[in-house]
Amino acid sequence: MELTRRDFLKLSGSGLGAAALVNLGFRVPALAKTEPLRITKAKEFTTICPYCAVGCGILVMSENNKVVNTEGNPDHPINQGTLCSKGTALIQISFVDGKVNPDRITEPMYRAKGASKWETLSWDDAISKIAQKIKDTRDANWIEQDDIDGKKVTCNRTEAIASFGGASLDNEECYLLVKMLRTLGLVYVEHQARI
Ligand code: SF4
């Protein structure tokens, strides 16, 4: 059929699109192509975005211990399903283009004093090493009393260790972490959100 300039402008300007072209007798290729959903057999978990202190809710779909999709959680009160560009690319922590991210670190890494190379450690060795360092530092820097106007006041603290929280810690984890840190006598307890 013949298409006048007015018809053409009406079609492109009004956004009638393919349906209108078909109605006018044109044959148009199918514009939408369906593909099998990659989350059909996946299990869904909720989590919090680890990148910043906004704490957006994320849905993680996993299949055979492999993350197959991440997206904003529409039921989460903070982001209501929306995500910034960092949160949208969250799956790349695990996978890039369907392959395990080669830059992902999956084991504890340790660089000895003076060494130029990092080596891997088992989780047990890493936790023991951290615990020993905390104990040694705390023991060597323990302050039992303060002198206030000539009067000795019990304080029981160490100023040689600091804790720096990350955005992926949720309220309950922060509560437990601060309890542990205060029990150890730390006074320098800070969070990423404040800097
Ligand atoms: S999605 Fe963006 S705004 Fe939300 S927590 Fe992650 S980094 Fe922050």
User: Could you read off the pLDDT tens digit of each residue along the chain, which spans 195 residues?
Assistant: 566 666 655 555 555 454 555 555 556 566 667 777 777 888 999 998 988 878 899 999 998 888 889 999 999 999 999 999 999 999 998 888 878 888 888 899 999 999 999 999 999 999 999 999 999 999 999 999 999 999 999 999 999 999 998 877 778 888 999 999 999 999 999 987 776
Measure 169 CA to ligand 1 centroid, in angstroms: 13
The topology (CATH level 3) of 43-100 is N-terminal domain of TfIIb (2.20.25)
Residue 70 CB neighbour total at 10 angstroms: 24
Residue boundaries of the structural domains of the chain: 1-34, 43-100, 109-194
Report pLDDT for 83. 97
Q: What is the pTM of this model?
A: 0.61
Report pLDDT for 117. 95
- Contact yes or no for 59/49 (Cβ under 8 A): no
Report pLDDT for 35. 74
Tokens of 75: 């039921």
Measure 76 CA to ligand 1 centroid, in angstroms: 13
E strands, 82-176, in order: 95-96, 99-100, 109-110, 119-120, 142-148, 151-165
To test ligand 1's pocket by mutation, which of 51, 80, 92 has the most ligand atoms within 8 angstroms of CB? 51
Which residues have any ligand 1 atom within 6 Å of their CB? 49, 51-52, 54-56, 79, 83-84, 86-87
Query: Which numbered atom of ligand 1 lies nearest the CA of 58?
Result: 1
